[in-house]
Amino acid sequence: MLIGPNRALLAPPPLRPTWSWNFAAMGRVPPGATFGRASTGWTETAAGLIVPASNNVPRFWRDEGYLAEMQSTNGITRSRTIAAHWSPQNLTAVDDDAVSPDGTQNATTLLEDAADTQKVVASPGVSYVTDGDYGHSIFVKALVGDGWVQLLAAGGTAGVNFQPSTGTIGSTVGGTADRVSGVVARAIGNGWWRLSFSWASNWTGSASARLYLVNSSSAAAGANYLGTGTRKFAVWGGQVDSTGVGVTSYIPTAGSTVTRAQDALSLPVSAIGFDPHQGGVLVARYQLTTHMGSWPGYYQDALYLSDGSINNSVKMVARHWNGINHGGMLHKGGDQKFGLFVAAVPAVYTKRTQAVAWSATRGQIAHDGVLDGTASFSDGLPVGPTTLDIGRYSSHGGNMIVDRVAYYRGAKVDAFGQLVSR
């Protein structure tokens, strides 16, 4: 059984795992694994290119690990042909006029006019539902000048200002700016940025996602400004993700909405040397690619050891559905034996090493060398787990990059999880 941390000072635990796998180093899934994704998915290379992976081919992100995402649909029906289908006003839009993040000349350029006007492109209508939480994103690059762009949700209801020449995020704007969260501007390569945020809808209906050209970090939503006629940008890959999943990888569309299926990676417990009659420790190093919305209540799980149901399982929770916690859980026969959560969710694209440890009477979680908490219980070992899922829990995807994972057989002292989570 797990015992107090002082004992660890007398008997330092061995660090050799029963089983481990380094996705970042190997660039493939481990032997004995089963992988599925019933659609094409896109990822990023170390050179900063956005590239596709065919059905049932796992994705590896920038040589940093395995990319695991849940199912999502791009609600914008034309992600790329912005001049032709995004209703340009008071600017000159030209499709296929710049090299995009996929390495081909299929990005749209936007050149401001020199009048005191609104300068905007508005997507075809996107369906929103009250209380939905929708991830909005677009790729943008400054070509001439130091101007600003403004990405807005739901017909201009709310969004954020951004300066792609410097990568500076400005103010959130609009009548429901308080519903904007998780603003991220991430450098892709070759001057391209992916600007993204989530917006919690307060109404049901169809409206456009919009990209305005503006002239300051604090420009109001849809503001007019007197242009110079010279500022020019390249844009590509507009996206509004399904409610609740946050901002996921690029999903191209060309006339209708497109759904990317969930990534599903599993191993039989025999492949990791699991012993159901002993406790153990699970360890994972990962980075979240997005924070999911708090509705409809998805977890982001790094590891899930189970019999295919919650009834007999051990979970490593990277982000609890309420959005503020990470932790671990153990269930036996449908009863939760321990559930430990702390307010320490990492920022997106920030690496974290996390450990969950258990015995028949005690559970523990740790991260980055910090012991987060312990819990005592009785009658605890789960009965007959059969699989280890990586980067998902059932239909809940992790939306994360998993660098490496490990399993240590047998109950350990409390300090063990703290040690191996460094």
Residue 266 token pair: 């599993």
What integer is the mean pLDDT of 277-300?
Answer: 88
Report pLDDT digits (tens) over 373-416.
Answer: 999 998 889 988 999 999 998 878 789 999 999 999 999 888 89
pLDDT at position 3, please? 38
Q: Which residues contact 204 (CB under 8 A, 6 or more apart)?
A: 128, 129, 130
Q: What is the pTM of this model?
A: 0.94
pLDDT of 6 above 80: no
pLDDT of 421 above 90: yes
pLDDT of 121 above 60: yes
What integer is the mean pLDDT of 355-365?
Answer: 94
Report pLDDT digits (tens) over 243-257.
Answer: 999 999 999 999 999
Q: Which residues contact 118 (CB under 8 A, 6 or more apart)?
A: 89, 90, 212, 222, 223, 224
2 touches 374 (CB < 8 A)? yes
Q: How many CB atoms lie within 10 A of CB 1?
A: 12
Q: Which residues contact 335 (CB under 8 A, 6 or more apart)?
A: none
CA distance 111 to 228: 10
List Cα–Cα distances, 148 to 93, 160, 169, in angstroms.
16, 10, 9
pLDDT band, very low/low/confident/very high, at 2 (cuts 50, 70, 90): very low
Report pLDDT digits (tens) over 224-236.
Answer: 999 999 999 999 9
pLDDT of 5 above 50: no
Of 89, 62, 39, 63, the closest CA to residue 263 belongs to: 39
pLDDT at position 297, please? 64
Q: Which residues contact 324 (CB under 8 A, 6 or more apart)?
A: 343, 345
pLDDT at position 123, please? 98
pLDDT of 149 above 90: yes
pLDDT band, very low/low/confident/very high, at 299 (cuts 50, 70, 90): confident
DSSP reduced 3-state for 417:
helix
pLDDT of 269 above 60: yes
pLDDT band, very low/low/confident/very high, at 7 (cuts 50, 70, 90): very low
